[in-house]
């Protein structure tokens, strides 16, 4: 059920079999599998999943290519709730390892927040990442185009950019390397530094050899209309016309709540085994937060694997299934 501040008290003493942090594709998939294994599950989600910004999901088997991310999220949440999983809109602040259980501290609401704790036997970290965007003065038009034809994911949208004039917007010389795999889809590439960093001689040579243009001026604003970016206006007033853009500025990893637990990371991503278990035996990581490919289909698969391993662990510990009424009353 959808938990609210009013109904929370009924659930406060319950020890969940699994608590899922994040209600994106990975977390919802995990929740659906967990409920179908007759385990008790709570998904806690702060909202605005990465897929919420995805205007069209182009590459998911069985879905029309113009399916918006928010339709996937709504369908997934409805499916999970229909299986009687618990769902709470809230922010997970901290996880504490208590031995047999994990204590999860939660903040509910932004204005006049209240605080709650939950206990769970297993935790699935499905809290994802969020893309850094170009930081222009007043964010000049960035939000009008990001997620439309100002893309953030080459694997997702390389096909959409085929043979187009594409601007690559990086945050460091290294981040501009994405221009080379983009060159598979189009040769008409301009890399932009926004005047923020130097491009070394070796990289400059490689761009030149590939036929790419380097633009090192500060950007004033993105231009376009109806969410279709048509170019950038530079600080000197000149305009570079483009058909699309690719932002390559890295991401923020939503894992602050795990800071108190010693886990293995690779960069910002959690390292897991093939069933998505982290270096902690009762913490799993799925979707964009773990090492792997940042795709909806992979996130959904990750959730299925983690949920299945949680079920196997619990089944091995308990042998026979507890009656459902007992699970819910625990």
Ligand X SMILES: Cc1cc2nc3c(=O)[nH]c(=O)nc-3n(C[C@H](O)[C@H](O)[C@H](O)COP(=O)(O)OP(=O)(O)OC[C@H]3O[C@@H](n4cnc5c(N)ncnc54)[C@H](O)[C@@H]3O)c2cc1C
Q: 168 and 150 in contact (C-beta within 8 Å)?
A: no
- Least separation in angstroms between CB 207 and ligand X: 25
Q: How many helices (H) and strands (E) does the chain have?
A: 8, 19
Number of neighbours of residue 249 by Cβ within 10 angstroms? 16
Cα 256 versus chain centre, distance: 14
Q: Which lies closer to ligand X via its Cβ, residue 141 or residue 220?
A: 141
- Least separation in angstroms between CB 1 and ligand X: 18
Q: Which lies closer to ligand X via its Cβ, residue 38 or residue 130?
A: 130
- Least separation in angstroms between CB 148 and ligand X: 8
For 273-296, give one letter per residue: b (16+ CB within 10 A) or e: eeebbbebebbbbbbbbbebebbb
- Least separation in angstroms between CB 159 and ligand X: 9
Strands 219-225 and 251-253: unpaired
Residues that bind ligand X (CB under 6 A): 21-27, 44-51, 53-54, 57-59, 69, 91-92, 126-128, 131, 147, 152-153, 156, 254, 257, 287-288, 294-297, 299
Q: Which lies closer to ligand X via its Cβ, residue 27 or residue 167?
A: 27
Residue 214, beta-bridge partner list: 191
Q: Which helix (H) or strand (E) holds 110?
A: none
Q: Which lies closer to ligand X via its Cβ, residue 127 or residue 220?
A: 127
Cα–Cα distance for residue pair 133/191, rounded to 1 Å: 15
Q: Which lies closer to ligand X via its Cβ, residue 87 or residue 212?
A: 87
Tokens of 51: 């897929």
DSSP state of 2: B
- Least separation in angstroms between CB 141 and ligand X: 16
Cα–Cα distance for residue pair 154/139, rounded to 1 Å: 23
Q: Which lies closer to ligand X via its Cβ, residue 155 or residue 330?
A: 155
Q: How far does the chain reach from its first CA to its final CA, in angstroms?
A: 17
Which candidate, 114, 37, 273, 138, places its Cα nearest to that of 29? Answer: 37
For 133-145, give one letter per residue: b (16+ CB within 10 A) or e: bbebeeebbbebb
- Least separation in angstroms between CB 285 and ligand X: 9
Q: Which lies closer to ligand X via its Cβ, residue 54 or residue 223?
A: 54
Q: Which lies closer to ligand X via its Cβ, residue 8 or residue 38?
A: 8
Name the residue with tokens 């570079």.
Answer: 240
- Least separation in angstroms between CB 232 and ligand X: 19
- Least separation in angstroms between CB 158 and ligand X: 10
């Amino acid at each position: 059920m959808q938990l609210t501040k009013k109904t929370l008290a009924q659930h406060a003493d319950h020890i969940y079999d699994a608590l899922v942090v994040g209600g994106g594709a990975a977390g919802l998939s995990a929740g659906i599998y967990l409920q179908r294994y007759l385990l008790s599950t709570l998904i806690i989600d702060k909202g605005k999943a990465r897929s919420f910004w995805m205007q069209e999901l182009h590459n998911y088997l069985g879905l029309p290519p113009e399916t918006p991310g928010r339709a996937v999220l709504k369908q997934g949440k409805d499916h999970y709730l229909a299986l009687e999983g618990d769902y709470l809109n809230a922010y997970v602040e901290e996880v504490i390892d208590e031995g047999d259980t994990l204590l999860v501290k939660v903040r509910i609401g932004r204005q006049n927040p209240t605080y709650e704790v939950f206990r769970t036997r297993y935790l699935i970290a499905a809290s994802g990442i969020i893309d850094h965007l170009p930081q222009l003065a007043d964010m000049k038009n960035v939000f009008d185009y990001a997620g439309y034809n100002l893309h953030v994911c080459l694997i997702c949208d390389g096909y959409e950019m085929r043979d187009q004039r594409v601007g690559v917007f990086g945050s460091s010389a290294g981040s501009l390397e994405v221009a080379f795999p983009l060159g598979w889809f189009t040769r008409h590439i301009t890399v932009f530094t926004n005047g923020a960093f130097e491009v070394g001689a070796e990289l400059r040579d490689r761009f030149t050899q590939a036929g790419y243009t380097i633009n090192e001026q500060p950007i004033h604003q993105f231009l376009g209309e109806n969410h279709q970016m048509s170019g950038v206006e530079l600080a000197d007033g000149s305009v570079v016309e483009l058909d699309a853009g690719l932002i390559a500025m890295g991401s923020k990893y939503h894992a602050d709540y795990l800071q108190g637990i010693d886990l293995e990371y690779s960069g910002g991503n959690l390292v897991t085994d093939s069933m998505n278990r982290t270096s902690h035996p009762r913490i799993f990581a799925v979707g964009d937060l773990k090492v792997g490919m940042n795709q909806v289909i992979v996130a959904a698969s990750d959730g299925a694997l983690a949920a299945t391993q949680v079920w196997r662990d619990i089944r091995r510990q308990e042998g026979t299934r507890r009656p459902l009424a007992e699970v819910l009353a625990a």
